[in-house]
Amino acid sequence: MFKKLFGMKETTETPAEETFLAPLSGRVTELSEVPDPTFSQKMMGDGLAIVPSEGEVVSPVDGEIVQFFHTKHAIGIRSLSGAEILIHVGLETVSMNGEGFEGHVKEGDKVKAGDKLITFNIDLIKEKAADIITPIVITNGENVESLNKKSMAEAVKGQTELFHLTMKN
């Protein structure tokens, strides 16, 4: 309050630690199991993958939509701690040009954990793309101090803890 009175800027503390919830319901697997070297060799970053059991992606954290591909197959979110997460629905789904995908947010939107981001047609992806497996990757890993992946076989979107991370100061 005094800072406002005297024209000083208030600083907002960003959390150094954060828990990411599963953005999809389905079977959880390691990135090494993703049949695409970009993800399996962690070229884009570390994380996990989910073989979805239903066609809905929700936000894994509170944050902001920083990238939403025009084909609606992938979305980037910056969490409150500054972690940047990419959710890439299926493999080679960019070639579908948005067919079977519906976006529910846009770049710049603020989101809360559990907010609906994308809905998609699983059967159409199985028919037209390479795979339905969905990598969830922290793309700015150089700023992450620790990434603790939770061990589980199945995840429920917006409820199951997928990983806990600590950002560098």
Question: Of 73, 88, 104, 164, which one is the catalytic site residue?
Answer: 88
Residue 88 appears among annotated catalytic residues: yes
Location of structure tokens 């948005």 = 98
Q: How far apart are CA 106 and CA 49, in angstroms?
A: 23
Task: Check: CB of residue 58 under 8 Å from CB of residue 23.
Answer: yes
Q: Pairing state of beta strands 26-30 and 74-79?
A: unpaired
Distances (CA, A) of 157 to 8, 56, 63, 134: 41, 8, 17, 13
Catalytic positions are: 88
